[in-house]
Structures are given as structure tokens and as C-alpha cells.
Structure 1
Amino acid sequence: MKQQNKLKILNDPIYGFISIPSEEIFKIVEHPYFQRLRRITQMGLSYLVYPGAHHTRFHHALGCLHLMQKSVQVLRSKSVDISDQEEDALYKAILLHDIGHGPFSHALEYQIINKVTHEQLSCHFMNHLNNEFNGSLTLAIQIFKGEYHRPFMLELISSQLDMDRLDYLKRDSFYTGVAEGNINSQRLITMLNVVDDQLVVEEKGLYSVENFLSGRRLMYWQVYLHKTGIGAEHLLQSVIKRIKELIDNGIKVELPKHLDYFINNSDPDFDTRTNDLEKFASLDDSDILATLKLGKDHKDFVLSELCTMILNRQLLKIKFSNKQVAPEKVQKHLDKLMQTYDLTEHEASYFVFSGFVVNVAYAKAQPIKILDKKGKLIELIKAGKEDSFKALLKEVRKYYCCYPKLQD
């Protein structure tokens, strides 16, 4: 039974009222593909660190739509020519830019579907919706894929100063309670302009951009690259890896129906088999949570322990270092775990591992252009004379070692 609800205004905790700009966009929001985003956590397992971080891709997509509406209004007020068709396409492209995310977002990217990015899956979903909506998403898809002749439209969707980043920083800051990400997105949008179909920032917005980039860098250290979150995501990835290994060895693992399909089918075809896309559209966080609850009772010690650790938040110890972790240090933790639980080295490696994370505030390869008062375009770092701007280019790399807390 389908009810047609004509609600066009939503109440968002970040921006207040968000309006849906057209009947067709409202129908896209109502579509099961989009409603699925209500069941995809925006920040993976970060709620194990920040209890409030249970917001979803659904929240984020609508927030991005709201900011895109504000951007179109600002740019038109500055005499930037944006047709009604382009406006509609921008709204559809930003609304659907994350529709291809799988369960727990980035935490399981490439784990369930090999070698297929969430952006590619978003394209598959958009193509399918385009057929359903009689070709009305064609321009949106061209913009999303960077095939449209006006580059600034893609930059509004995907760049170092896009609506995606402007929303997720502010939204993630709100739900985690980490104040550093509470950027002034409205101020940044007000400073946007377009020159030769390139997105630029007016000179008076220079320090707002610096604050935005600095805030993003801090959010990465405090939230996205939080050591406990990194350890939890490793555990979740290890669950999928162990399940695949057990199945390859002929050991039965009980899984939800659609997850079972992709675990046992490493080469899905989203181009020619529409059914594969439908199956992926049925996957969400609840499938993974069900898998963890089933897995904790499995006879395999490794799978059972991994699932129990996540469900009960009995997470790994993780230490950051400025130097690469010595192999003998990792081996020491492996040996002790092998001895304690009578595990093989391979089994112990699910609980002991090392790696590194990288954080850089500004990528010069995708420059932000500043429009000075004389109408000249200057790259951000050259426009900002202070040393703080040059510091944005610095890449910081931290190494880590993960191991069970009992080893301490």
C-alpha cells in the first residue's frame, strides 16, 4: 500500500526548515533507493567513540540539497547564469551523490563489493532512476560525472569547497559534539562566485576558507581518524574478511540473504544485471548488525571473538607513533596472543596489525581560487600571506599498532 504524502518542508537540526524544491525531487526522496539512506550510518562506527553520531546519509543528502539551493541563490544574485534545467540538475546530482554508499559507509567500502567505489555505485543508481523518471536525470548525471561543459557545477558537488564537505563537517560536528567542525557554511557560500565557469571565492572570504580547512583538519584528527574508531573499523573489516575465508574453506556461515549473495559473488554486474543493483539496494547497516549477532555464536573462535568485541565495545588497544612500527613489536604482540589463546599466527593477525593514517588540510593539486578586488584569480596559498596558509599544505603521517588490551 502506497500513500502519497505531499510534505515539502522538513525540519533539520542544523539548518532549520529545508524545502524540497519540486514535485519530482520529492518523488526521488520518496523512492526506496533514497529511503534506504535512512539505514546507512553517516560515520560508520564512530558512535562507539561519540555516542551521538548516529546520523545517517539521509540527513546528510538533504543537508547538501539545502546548501546547494543557497549556493544557486547566491550565484544568481551575482549574475551567474544558471538555467532552470541546470538548477534542477544540480539539486538532483547533490541529492544523489552518496546514494551508492553501502552499509556503514566508508568503513566497509571495497569489503563487500570489490573494486567498485561508492561513486560508481551512485552512478548505477542514478542511471536506473533516470530510466524510471523518463530521462530527467540525464543532465544531473553529466554534471556528476564531470562531462558537462561548465566545470563549476561539478565543483559545487565535488571539490575542496563543495556542498558535501560544507554539510558533513557542520553535521558531524553537531552530532559528535566536537566544536572544531562547526564551520560557518552560510558565510562561505555567500563568498562564492564564478569566473570563466570556474568556482572561486571572493577575497573577503579568504580567512573563512582558512578556518574551514583548519576545522576540517582538526575534525580528521579528533573524529574521522580517532584511534578508537580506526581500531573498530579494522575489526569490522576483519569480520567480513574472516567470513569470506571460512566460506572459501567450506565452513558454513549464516548470513542475511542479500549480504550472502555478495559475499559469495565477488564479481557482481551492475551494468547488465539490474537484479544485482536491486540486491545491493536491499543492503544496509541492519544486515551487518545481524551478521555480527549471528557471528558471535559461530564455532570459529576468530569470527565469534571479532563479532563479540564490536557488539560489546571490547575494542583493541591502539597506539599512535611518529615512527613506523617495528616488525618485532608487532610480532611480540602476535606471539603473546598465540600463546594465550592457542592460535596460529594467521588467526592472531586478525587482532594484531599495524598501519598508518595521513592528514593534509589542503591539496594544491585541486586549487581553491581567490578572486581579488581587481578581478584577478590567485591560488589560495599565494593569496594568504601568513605562514598559517602554508601550514595547510603540510602532510602529517601517524603510524599505529593495534592489539588486544589484555596484552598491555
Structure 2
Amino acid sequence: MNNQKTNKLKIINDPIYGFITIPNSLIFDIIEHPYFQRLRRVTQMGLSNMVYPGANHTRFHHAIGCMHLMQKAVYVLRNKNVEISDEEANALYIAILLHDIGHGAFSHALEHSIVNGITHEEISLKFMRALNDEFNSKLSLAIQIFEGKYHRQFLYQLISSQLDIDRLDYLKRDSFYTGVAEGNISSERLIAMMNVVEDELVIEQKGIYSVEKFIIARRLMYWQVYLHKTGLVAEITLVNVLKRAKELALKGVELYASRALKYFLYTPISENNFTNNTLKIFSELDDYDVMSAIKDWVHHEDFVLSSLAKMIIHRNLLKIEIQEEPFANTYIAAIHKNILENSNIKESDLNYFVLSNKIKHQAYNTNDPIKIYTKKGELKDIAKASDQLNLKALSKPVIKHYLCYPKKIV
């Protein structure tokens, strides 16, 4: 029995942090659970590997990394006389470990196409509750903290805020795997500067430059990586191929798909009918199901489905233009006309091939400020405490407009 217990305190080797220790046997059992193991088959960055070939790391990597950073944060805060009980610490590790468990295949693509009646946050909660039932209510406190219902606010801020453990891991991890050095933040330094004042998570004054670098790194990573135009058009195409598949499925067209994918294509999903059985099937759905279906759809007789599938499989994507101003209707109309005259695309299918919308990113949100704890014992919003003028600029949302259309035609 003893031997089995020791075996559960395994060590995981992470390319960024080195050795990560699993803190106890309950967390080991959660990691071993099929619901969590699915995250090994869900990529952290969707189709970004079409731009950055190294970006193949998974949600599993990220969740384990978050748990490791949370252990560091608890250690630092306890050393500064912030009382965190063993039960609270364990709940934090579980909450951060499971914060992304509801993400579907290719992260956000499913949410905008075939499982669009419910958000990944709501699915995460359903997974947590199902695991809580299995583990004799041992996740109750973790769920309470995750939902922001626990009376100690700073614990929730560690899970979800502008300087939460989630962001501290994914910026560093995504920067490492993409090779985009601008995103390489010092998560260890930021954690070392954390403190709690009046139940609020704050950063001590000497950590101010690390916070500035973190906010700037976040902005650079968004425009250079997460909203990179090729990654963006790949994601849009993926959403559209799944939308088209669902449209055909609901008309009764026969489509190749795995058992789990078939369920979500042929069943309209909303929050009301997302039962425990739906959750079980969702837990079997990952990137592999989606990609193997798309590979088969390349040969489907539906022109729209096969064209979009080919774009992804052969990485021959739509052309994308991005600019500050909305695209003129006359310009879009001219592209429509050109496509209808020079291709097999029907007018009713145009919206699958010509798309215009906007993307928006705000590097820093003053409504949920990162507080700096000054040497005089005052709490200041980083945007006011910083002598960097550009931090004020970074709190303004940046909006860009995009237009995608087939390359060959125009």
C-alpha cells in the first residue's frame, strides 16, 4: 500500500521549468483520469503551427505548468505571512489544473461552430462537478474558488485576473514553443513579487518593471502570434469547415466522422440538452477526430466542404487583408462579382469564402487593475504607478478589420 502511495508522487520533466512535482495522490488521480488525459490530444494553440511549426504543445502541458506555478505562488505568499491552509492550497492546485478542461478540439474552433450553445468555461465546470462526484466531493472547495464564490478574493485572482497563473504560464510557454522571444516573461520573478493586501492580490513596487514587461509581452504575443493573419485565416477556415459539416449533417447528408464527432454534428447542442451523457461523449472528442474527418472530407462531393477541407490539409488558405478601417462595401461587392464570374462558387455559398469581420485586443484592462503595493503602503493601478507612457496607450482597445477571399480569383 505504501509503495503505491509513493508511486503517485511522480515527477514530470517540463522543458520550461524543469522538474514538476505532483503534490499529492488526489491530484495524481485527477491527472490520470480520462477527462484530463484528453488534454494531451488538444493543442494549446489551435492551428498556429501553420505559422510557427514548433507550436505543437498541448493543453495538458499548459495545465501541468499552471499547477507548478501555483505551487510556487502558494510558497511565496506563505513566506510573506499570508495564511493559506493546506485545504485552500490544494483547492488552488486543482482549480488551476482544471481551468481549461472544457476546451474542445483545436481550442476555440468548436465553440464557434458545432458546440456553440455553451462556452468552454461552462463545460469546464460540468467536468469539475462530474469529477467531484467521482472523488467524493473532494473538489468542492476548488469549484467554489473557480466560480469566485469563496470568501477570500485573492485566491480567485490567482485563478482568474489580469495577472493570473494561467497567463503567466501560457505567455512563457507559447513564446518558448513558437520561438517568439518577445513573449518570454519572467513568471518566476512576477510570482516572487506577489503579495496580498486587504484580501487583494498585489505586486510589490520592486516588481513594477516585470509587470510592465508582462503587459507589453502580452500585446506583442497577441498581434504577432495569437492574431497572426495566417493563423487567423486558418482558424476561420476550420470554423467554417465544421459549420458546413454541421449544416449538411442537419440536412441528413452522410458524413465520415468518429462516433464522438458524429454526435456533435448530427445533434443540435445547447446548454439545456448538454447532459452528463453529452459530457461523456465530449470527453472523447479531440483534435484527432476533427483532423481525420477533415482529411476524409477533402474527397466529399459537397463542393464547399471539400474546398475548405483541402485548404486546411494542403495549407492553401484564403488570402487575408488586414487594415485599421472597415473594408468598403464596393470593394467587397467587386470581389463577390469577380468570384461569381470566374469560379464554381455559388452565390448562396459566398459567405463561406468571402468573410469580413474585426479583431480586437486590449493588452491591459483598467476595469480589473493590476495593483502595485508601494513602499509607502499605498495601492496604485499599474497604469498610474508606471512611468511608462505606453502603458496608458496599452489600455485602449486596438481594433483591426480583416477580409478573406480566395487567392486564385482576385
TM-score relative to the length of structure 2:
0.96
User: What residue in structure 1 maps to residue 181 of structure 2?
Assistant: 179
**Post-superposition CA distance 1:298-339 (Å, at most 9, x none):** 101110010011001001111111110112222222222222
Range with bigger deviation, 345-354 or 80-89: 345-354
Change (3 A) 1:261 1:295: same
Range with bigger deviation, 244-253 or 285-294: 244-253
Q: CA deviation at 1:250?
A: 3.5
Q: Which amino acid aligns with 2:320?
A: I
User: What residue in structure 1 maps to residue 56 of structure 2?
Assistant: 54
Q: CA deviation at 1:346?
A: 2.2
1:297 is the counterpart of 2:299: yes
User: What residue in structure 2 maps to residue 246 of structure 1?
Assistant: 248
1:211 is the counterpart of 2:213: yes
Cα distance between partner residues in 2 of 1:185 and 1:53: 20
Cα distance between partner residues in 2 of 1:271 and 1:162: 32
Cα distance between partner residues in 1 of 2:329 and 2:344: 21
Cα distance between partner residues in 2 of 1:80 and 1:234: 45
Cα distance between partner residues in 2 of 1:348 and 1:397: 25
**Post-superposition CA distance 1:111-167 (Å, at most 9, x none):** 221231111111000001111111100000000000000011111011100010000
8 Å CA contact retained: 2:116, 2:270: no
Q: CA deviation at 1:273?
A: 3.1
Q: Which amino acid aligns with 1:22?
A: N
8 Å CA contact retained: 1:356, 1:398: yes
* Matched residue count: 405
Change (3 A) 1:404 1:271: closer
User: What residue in structure 1 maps to residue 98 of structure 2?
Assistant: 96
Alignment partner for residue 326 of structure 2, among 324, 327, 342? 324
Alignment partner for residue 394 of structure 1, among 389, 396, 399? 396
User: What residue in structure 2 maps to residue 69 of structure 1?
Assistant: 71
- Equivalent positions of 1:266-305 (< 5 A) are 266-267=268-269, 273-305=275-307
Cα distance between partner residues in 2 of 1:59 and 1:385: 36
**Post-superposition CA distance 1:21-56 (Å, at most 9, x none):** 001101111110000000000000101111110100
User: What residue in structure 1 maps to residue 383 of structure 2?
Assistant: 381
Q: CA deviation at 1:348?
A: 2.4
Identity %: 57
Range with bigger deviation, 353-362 or 161-170: 353-362
Cα distance between partner residues in 1 of 2:379 and 2:273: 42
Alignment partner for residue 109 of structure 1, among 108, 111, 114? 111
Unaligned runs of 5+ in 2: none
Cα distance between partner residues in 1 of 2:227 and 2:99: 23
Cα distance between partner residues in 1 of 2:265 and 2:377: 55
- Equivalent positions of 1:311-350 (< 5 A) are 311-350=313-352
User: What residue in structure 2 maps to residue 136 of structure 1?
Assistant: 138
Cα distance between partner residues in 2 of 1:171 and 1:366: 24
Range with bigger deviation, 209-218 or 378-387: 378-387
Q: Which amino acid aligns with 1:154?
A: Y
Cα distance between partner residues in 2 of 1:299 and 1:382: 59
Cα distance between partner residues in 2 of 1:386 and 1:222: 22
TM-score relative to the length of structure 1:
0.96
**Post-superposition CA distance 1:71-130 (Å, at most 9, x none):** 000000000000000000000000000000000002332322123111111100000111
User: What residue in structure 1 maps to residue 234 of structure 2?
Assistant: 232
Q: CA deviation at 1:358?
A: 1.1
